[in-house]
A = this chain, B = another copy of it.
Amino acid sequence: MKKVTVVGTGVIGNGWIARFLAQGLDVIAFDPAEGAEKRTRQAIDHAWSSLEERGLAEGVSKDRLTFMDTIEGAVREADYIQENVPEREELKKSVLQSIDEHAKPEAIIGSSTSGIKPTILQEGMAHPERFFVAHPFNPVYLLPLVEIVGGQDTDAAVIEKGHQFFESIEMKPLIIQKEVDGHVADRLMEALWREALHLVNDGVATTEEVDAAIVYGAGLRWAQMGPFLTFHLAGGEQGMRHMLEQFGPALKLPWTKLEAPELTDELKERVISGCENHAGDQTVADLEQKRNEFLVKLLDLVEEYWPETNTSAAK
């Protein structure tokens, strides 16, 4: 896939354009809003120094971006089309149908929707089998995660092609097996975000204190290790098996406004074996050592970027 088209050039669409360009792709963009092209070119200029520092591919140029005046013209030649219009179901469906109508038959279409299920979005497309959700994270040109979610009518081969494409542009595609509102990552973030709003609403902490409670603690761990493996380490030598015994009862306590699922034997085994498989031949001590090495280097790095360094580190 060499020619990509981006439809909708807000923060997310522009993030995709910057990533695609930095990976040496030809990009066509479409956005009917007044001044869209100018804003996009500014956004790319803004992102470019970071992309240069990451290392640009051969033949990369910001000039390989072309804006087109019509959606038909914009999608006609594209191998891959990324839709990023505002998060309103009817709007997205109508734009996707129009993309589908004018794209060449072998083109693949992805939507950046952060919450809507692909089965809903692909309703009414003439070729729903070539559509999936491809949900990225801000800033798209730096964060590697992209969630790929197929709908009821999505062809498995299309998911596989998408997977290969996103890997080829240095992303970490995560294929979600079962579609739910908010996919996976935003459900986790939304749970934390809603609890954060409750804490502020209940006068327990200010927004700044909530942020501090993340960046100086768990946030440092989450750059390298997710919540399950983190708790696998908290369980000591026995890992998650011990952890669930020790802290399972806390799931009944009012430590958040979110009700936990019942910790059945089946759920326990799924969580324990998941962590054990993930760890592979690495013992908890191995994982700890790797984490510590990372944390020492991260602390040296992050200290000059923490909120209290109230000036840009830019020269």
Contacts and interface: CB of A to CB of B under 8 A. Distances in A.
Interface of A: 11, 46-47, 49-50, 53-54, 87, 115, 137-139, 142-145, 147, 172, 174, 176-178, 180-182, 184-229, 231, 233-234, 236, 250-251, 253-261, 263, 267, 270-271, 274-275, 277-278, 280-282, 285-286, 288-299, 301-302, 305-307, 310-314
A192 B200 contact: no
A267 B190 contact: no
B174 A213 contact: yes
A192 B194 contact: no
Given A53-B296, A207-B270, 7 more contacts: A184-B204, A187-B256, A188-B199, A189-B227, A190-B256, A196-B227, A293-B314
Copy number in the complex reads 2
A interface majority secondary structure: helix
Contacts of A275: 207
A163 B279 CA distance: 38
Given A204-B180, A299-B142, A198 B254 contact: no
A288 to B, nearest CB: 7
Nearest to A249: B87
Given A228-B196, A258-B194, A292-B50, A172 B307 contact: no
